[in-house]
Amino acid sequence: MSEKRFPLEALHADALCADMPGCMALLVFAGKGGEVLHELKLLYPQSHSRIYYIEDTLQTQMPKVLSVAEKLNIPCIVLNGEEQPHPGAFIQTNNPRVSLISRGTEDPDPVQAILDKMKPSYFTWIGFQRYLTNPAVLDSLTDHYVETLRLGDFRNSVATAEPLLREAAYHYIDMRSVRHSDAPDGISTTPNGLYAEEICTLARYAGLSADLRLAILYGYPAKSRRYSQSARLTAQVIWHITEGLAVSVNEHPEKDTDLFHRKVVQMGEDGQELVFLLSKKTGRWWIEVPNSKDPARPVHIACSTEDYVLACKGEIPIKWLFYYQKSNNFS
C-alpha cells in the first residue's frame, strides 16, 4: 500500500500485546471488514500514526481484544455492522461516561437501556428528532439530569456538541441517524436526519476527547456492495475519529491550572460568581461548578464559548444550573 494512504495494518487478535509496535488506535470489525475496510484504505491520512485493524470473522475474539486494548490504553473503534449493540456488551467499566448519537427511540430502545443497565456516571444524547422520540424517555432523561441535544438545536450551533462529547469516554454512533439522501443504501433510513458532514464533525469531536476509550459504529449494511455510499460514509466517520485522535490534547483544569486563563463573571452586585477556565493552548472552555460533596474541590465541566458569553450578559448558563442541581440532588 502506498505510504500516502491511510496507515492501516492488519493484526491478528493473538498478536495484540504490550510488546507490539505502538499505534494510535485499533479498529475491530465484528466479522469481515468488507467494503468499509476497502473504502477506508482509499483515503489519505492527516497523520501517519499506525492504526491496526482486526477482523473478528467468527465473532469470538471481541471481548478478549477489547480487554487487552483497555489494559494497553489503546483507543478502539468497533464496527458492529447492522446490529444495534446490547448496552454494556463492549463496555465492562463500572459507571462509564457515555454518549449516544442516534435519531430517536428505537425498539429495543438503547437510551433507557443505557440508563438502566449501564448506570453511567455521565450520559449525553445527540442528534435525536423529537417526532421519532418517546416523550416519556425525554422525561426520564430530565429526571436523571442528562444533557441532550436534539437535531434542530445541534444544527443551529454545531459547536455546542463538542463539550458534550468531550466529557464522554465511550461513544455509540448509530449510522441510521444520517438522512436517506446522504446514505441512500443505508438501513431503514428516514427523510430527515444528520447530514453526512455533521456526523463526521461529531465523530471528530469524539476523537478530540482525551478520554476516548471506545467508539462503536452500528446501523450500517455490513455486506455492502462495491461503491456503496453507506460504506464510504462509515469509512469517513472512522477517518474523522482518528483525525481527532491525532490532534487531541490531554488537558483539564484539575490537572494543571497554569495552562488556563481563569475568568470570573459576577452575576449582579450580590449574585453568584461564575468561574470559567479557558485553555491557553486549544481555546476550549470549562465552567466551575460548586461541589456539594466536597466544597474545597469544585467540579469542572466542559462548556462552550456561548456559555461564557451568556454569563457576561448576566444570565446563568443552563449547563451551570443543570450540574449544580445534579450535584445537590445526588450528594
Domain at 8-247: CATH architecture:
3-Layer(aba) Sandwich (3.40)
Is the model more confident about 144 or about 66?
Answer: 66
Closest CA to 243 of 7, 16, 1, 30: 7
**212 touches 169 (CB < 8 A):** yes
| Residue owning grid cell 491557553 | 280
How do residues 65-108 score in pLDDT, each as one tens digit?
Answer: 999 999 999 999 999 999 999 887 899 899 999 999 999 998 88
Model's pTM, two decimal places? 0.95
pLDDT tens per residue across span 187-223: 999 999 999 999 999 999 999 999 999 999 999 998 8
E strands present in 46-154: 51-55, 76-79, 97-101, 122-126, 147-149
CA 322 to chain centre: 20
C-alpha 77/C-alpha 241 separation (Å) is 9
Looking at residue 301, its pLDDT comes to 95
Q: 300 near 252, Cβ under 8 Å?
A: yes
Whether residue 225 is predicted with pLDDT greater than 60 in this model: the reply is yes
Burial call 28-46: b when 16+ CB within 10 Å, e when fewer: bbbbebbbbbbbbeebebe
Say yes or no to pLDDT of 245 above 80: yes
Residue with the bigger pLDDT between 49 and 36: it is 36
Note whether 7 and 48 are within 8 A (CB): yes
Residue whose cell numbers read 478520554: 211
Region 106-132: mean pLDDT is 93
Domain ranges of the chain: 8-247, 257-329
Cell of 74: 489503546
**Best CA proximity match to 14, nearest among 76, 84, 61:** 61
Task: Give me the helices (H) in 7-96, please.
Answer: 34-41, 62-71
**Given this model, what pLDDT does residue 1 score?**
43
Distances (CA, A) of 297 to 63, 143, 268, 293, 301: 37, 25, 24, 9, 13
Written as nine digits, the cell of 241 is 475519529
Backbone torsion region of residue 62, taken as left when φ is above 0, otherwise alpha when ψ lies between -120 and 50, otherwise beta: alpha
CA nearest to 302, candidates 247, 254, 266, 268: 254
Integer Cα distance of 247 and 256 in angstroms: 19
**Residue 285: which H helix or E strand, with range?**
strand 285-289
Res 329 pLDDT > 80: no
Q: How many CB atoms lie within 10 A of CB 267?
A: 14
Q: Cβ(199)–Cβ(177) under 8 Å? A: yes
